[in-house]
Chain A
Amino acid sequence: MLLLSAPFEPRAAAPPRQPAGAYAPVVGAVALVAAGGQGLEWLGAGPAGFGHALASGAIHGGWLALGWLLATGAAPGWSGPVLRLGGTMVVASIVARLGPLGPLAFLLVPMVLLGEARRWPRLRAIGLGGARPSHALAGLTLGAFLGAHLLVTASRTFGYRLQSSGLSAYLGALAYDVGANALTAEWLFRGAVFSLLWRRVTFWPAAALATGLSLLRYLLDPALPHAVEARVGAVFYLGLVGLIACALRAWSGSLVPGYLAALGFFAAYRTLAP
């Protein structure tokens, strides 16, 4: 029992705050690459979709980098992992556009992330560890349930039908969720943000703020449809997915069940065709 056994110094000062200097170059680099990619897209320069892939990869890489800085407290040695993670994401995003098997490149991102994290034991504090099978199954079940619910609701709204572009497009979208969409959301919002907040406040405020930030991320995404009903649906379902992922993270101590819940939901969502 630490209250009884660990030495205590009542006047010990808190460690210095995270240096803002670590965030500025990352944000700057992400903004520069994303703007460059978007510029290429507007100008029509380069292969088709290259600029968009560059911008999307930079943004997702930026989320991973931001999560890394928050989770490690921007401890010395952050630049190497951040560069490798961001670079992998950008490369995967570009490769995904090259052919039907391209999206498989997204599967590299979780592996690189795990490889980098293995050298940083303190990342276990944000839930980067294994989960019990029962917890993982609970996450997958809840995600699948929400996904099924989405399909029912969507069938009444849009007239549900399968993706017309076929299985490869569906699997490509799933690979994107595995390596970019769901991964960055869990890593940044449930891992770094929620874990840091939960150390300072109770569960509900921490979960509400982390989920609110993740919703903001989706709502600001220019690639998503802007129709009111789509945004209302996004807020409803992604809010629930976010809260459930936070609850799973708190319950299991691991990011894996929430990640599986998000994948279960997006696996259903990707079957929808507009």
Chain B
Amino acid sequence: MIAGPVAFLVAVAVAMAVTDQEPASVLRHLYLVPTLWAALARGAVGGGSIGAVAGLLHAPVALPAVERAGLTSATLDGLLSLGLPLVAGLLVGRLVDGSRARAARLAAVLAIQRGLDGAGALDDKLLSVAGELRAALGARRLALLVGTDVRTAQIASGPVGSLVDVGSAAAFALASGQRVSSLDLRADPRVRADEPPGPTPLRALALPLVSGVGVVGVLAVEWSGDLSRSTRAAADELALHVGLAVENARLTLRQLRFAEELAEKVAAATARLRELDQAKSEFLSVVSHELRTPLTALQGFSELLLRSALPPDKAHRCLVYLHTEACALGRIVGELLDLSRIEVGRPLELRPERVDLDELMERNVELFAAEHREHRFRWTPSGPAVTLRADPDALDRMVKNLLSNAVKYSPRGGQVSLSACPAEDQPGMVELAVEDDGVGIPPEQLPRIFDKYVRVPHPETATTRGLGLGLSLVKALAEAHGGRVEVDSLPGKGSRFRLLLPGVDRDF
């Protein structure tokens, strides 16, 4: 690109040497052509260089003329022609440089916006933007601090990473929102630099990145050597764009994260609804089965009583069966009523009174021991210090459900323990614990164990009857008493359910 102007320059010089030796020759104006050509092609450096060479080529014509004729208008004109190409080349070159700088700034702004756009980690984006900015500003070193606190801000820098001192100029710009400008950092009295001033000044700018929400970071730039006014203006302009672009990128990322979280939640809720739907279907099937069993017994024995004249002992046995199945049916209907009450949000009706815990535990243990002879039941008397005020019927149902649960999930038999004592880790609460050494509950099932219709699948308990309501009712009843129920379990080792209810001095 510079060969053309040089060739033109040489051609003009030769033409002047051959044709006209006068300092004010009209040919001298032709020196402006290659000068402006170079200025348009290479900016101030090209224009200035070719202009200087043009002056040098004209000097052997212009200077001797001064000696020959003294300072006349013609020789003065010749002397002015020495500097004119240089000045013209520099001025036009600067205009060209300014125009190119504006185009480069625009390109850098677009590159920054593209760099910060879309998905991806902000760290990587900032690194790419720092590289773009460094190239656009011709800086020796550049760093982008993004964040409102220098200790937690993300840093992207070129050419190498750098640690940030909390008392540094960049930290000051971030905290105060004021720009810091230095003509030579190493000689600046405000900067305690370890290195002495060098032969080339280290210009620096720390510009706050401002967005609609305030200062969101700092653009720190260091130049070795000159820093022109246009570069300074470019840094200001780019800092403005970077501030807005960074804030936009952060908002976009936040939006994307929010959308992802929302999608995850929707997916989880959908899955949960599917599970519930499936559980309800299973529940209906189980309920039908559970209702049909006692109903079948009721129908069968009542028909037998109606149609046959049974001896009194046989009739009595039938009546006992009828009563047992009617009670079972009543329990199922009671649980269903409680469930519907919970589902519609109506409070459970409780009639609290002082409860004899030992009597309740002994009665239930004896009842279960009589029905489940393959299990060993053990209960520990609570002693007089443990007193409880609760709805006796609700408490009885909670204990029965927990014992029933322990039995169901210990299909091979084993030990079931029942105990009551003051809760050591919960002052004012009474702990009623039911422990078994059955199949246990996998950890992933534990969070759902108190949900409605949930039955933990296990090959050994697949034939076990139940509605999947027992534990959810225990939870609802415990909470209605102002307490709660907890579980610890290990698969293959057993489970321990812990019912925590307020002691007698609590007002519930």
A residues whose Cβ falls under 8 Å from a Cβ of B: 1-15, 121-122, 124-127, 129, 149, 152-153, 156-158, 195, 198-200, 202-203, 227-229, 232-233, 236, 240, 249-250, 253-254
Instruction: Select from chain B the residue with minimum beta-carbon distance to A255.
Output: B199
**A10: chain B residues within 8 A (beta carbon):** 172, 176, 178, 180, 190
Q: Give the distance in Å from the alpha carbon of A121 to the alpha carbon of B186 in the complex.
A: 14
Taking a contact as CB atoms under 8 Å apart, the answer to whether B170 and A250 are in contact is: no
Q: For residue A233, which residues in chain B have a CB less than 8 angstroms away from its CB?
A: 63
| Residues of chain A contacted by B167 (CB below 8 angstroms) | 7-8
Complex CA gap A13/B188 in Å reads 10
When A4-B163, A232-B79 are in contact, do A253 and B200 touch as well, CB less than 8 Å?
A: yes
Q: Given the complex of chains A and B, what is the CA–CA distance between A6 and B183 in angstroms?
A: 16
Chain A residues, Cβ within 8 Å of B229: 202
Instruction: Return the contact of B170 from the options A3, A13, A126, A229 (Cβ within 8 A).
Output: A3
Nearest CB to that of A158 among chain B residues? B67
- Pairs A–B under 8 Å by Cβ, sample size 6: A4-B220, A5-B162, A6-B191, A15-B189, A153-B64, A250-B225
The residue in chain A whose Cβ has the minimal distance to the Cβ of B185 is A2
CB-CB under 8 A for A2 and B66, given A8-B167, A9-B192: no
- Which A residues lie within 8 Å of B170 (CB)? 3-4
- The CA of A229 and the CA of B70, in the complex, are separated in Å by 8
- Could you tell me if B162 and A1 are in contact, using CB atoms closer than 8 angstroms? yes
Given contacts A4-B155, A7-B165, A202-B226, 4 further A-B contacts (CB under 8 A): A10-B180, A122-B197, A228-B71, A254-B199
- Of all chain B residues, the one with the shortest Cβ separation from A202 is B226
Chain A residues positioned under 8 Å from B183 (CB to CB): 199-200
Q: Which of B59, B70, B186 has the most CB of A within 10 A?
A: B59
B222 is an interface residue with CB less than 8 A from chain A: yes
Given A5-B164, A8-B167, A12-B189; A199-B201 close (CB under 8 Å): yes
Which of B71, B168, B176, B178 is the one whose CB lies under 8 Å from A3?
B168
With contact pairs A10-B172, A157-B64, A232-B63 given, residues A2 and B191 touching in the complex (Cβ less than 8 Å): yes
A195-B199, A229-B66 are known contacts. Are A3 and B180 too (CB-CB below 8 A)? yes
Chain B residues in the interface with A (C-beta under 8 A): 52, 56, 59-60, 63-64, 66-67, 70-71, 79, 82, 141, 143, 145, 155, 157, 162-165, 167-172, 176, 178, 180, 183-187, 189-202, 204, 206, 220-222, 225-229
Q: Looking at the complex, which one of A15, A199, A236 makes contact with B63 (CB distance below 8 Å)?
A: A236
- Say whether B164 contacts A4, CB under 8 Å: yes
Q: Is A198 touching B189 in the complex (CB atoms < 8 A)?
A: no
Residue ID in chain B nearest A253 by CB atoms: B199
Contact A125–B198 (Cβ < 8 Å): yes
Cross-chain contact A3 with B169 (CB below 8 angstroms): yes
Pairwise interchain contact B82-A127, C-beta atoms closer than 8 A: no
Shortest CB distance B205–A (Å): 8
Kindly list chain B residues whose C-beta atoms are within 8 Å of the C-beta of A158: 67
Chain B residue at minimal CB-CB distance from A206: B226
Q: Which residues of chain A come closer than 8 Å to B221, judged between CB atoms?
A: 3
Contact indicator B204/A152 (Cβ below 8 Å): no
Query: What are the 8 closest A-B residue pairs judged by CB atoms, nearest first?
Result: A253-B199, A8-B169, A229-B67, A125-B197, A157-B64, A3-B220, A156-B64, A1-B162
Q: How far is the CA of A91 from the CA of B342 in the complex (A)?
A: 113
Q: Are B59 and A124 in contact (CB under 8 A)?
A: no
Would you call A152 and B60 a contact (CB within 8 A)? yes
Bound Cα distance from A122 to B192, whole angstroms: 16
Residues of B within 8 A of A127 (CB): 199
Q: Give complex CA distance A168, B189 in Å.
A: 52
- Shortest C-beta distance, B107 to chain A (Å), equals 25
Q: Across the interface, which residues of B come within 8 angstroms of A202, CB to CB?
A: 226-229
- CB-contact partner of B204 in A3, A129, A153, A229, under 8 A: A3
Q: Shortest beta-carbon distance, A66 to chain B, in Å?
A: 20
Specify which chain B residues have a CB less than 8 angstroms from the CB of A6 in the assembled complex: 165, 168-169, 185, 191-194
B508 CB to closest chain A CB (Å) equals 61
Q: Which of B52, B157, B172, B198 contacts A8 (CB 8 A)?
A: B172
Bound Cα distance from A158 to B59, whole angstroms: 14
Of all chain A residues, the one with the shortest Cβ separation from B82 is A236
Task: Let me know if B163 and A5 touch, CB within 8 A.
Answer: yes
List chain A residues, Cβ under 8 A from B141: 1
Other-chain residue from A5, A125, A228, A229 in contact with B196 (beta carbon distance below 8 A): A125
Specify the chain A residue showing the minimal Cβ separation from B176.
A10
Q: Are B165 and A5 interface neighbours, CB within 8 A?
A: yes
CB distance from A175 to the nearest CB of B (A): 27
Q: Which of A12, A125, A129 contacts B190 (CB 8 A)?
A: A12
Tell me if A149 and B59 are in contact (CB < 8 A): yes
* Complex contacts, B193 vs chain A, CB 8 Å: 2, 6
CA–CA, A240 to B229, complex, Å? 25
CB B327 to nearest CB in A, in angstroms, measures: 80
A5 to B70, CA, bound (A): 62
B162 touches A153 (CB 8 A): no
User: Residues of B contacting A240 with CB < 8 Å?
Assistant: 52, 56
Closest to B231 in A: A202
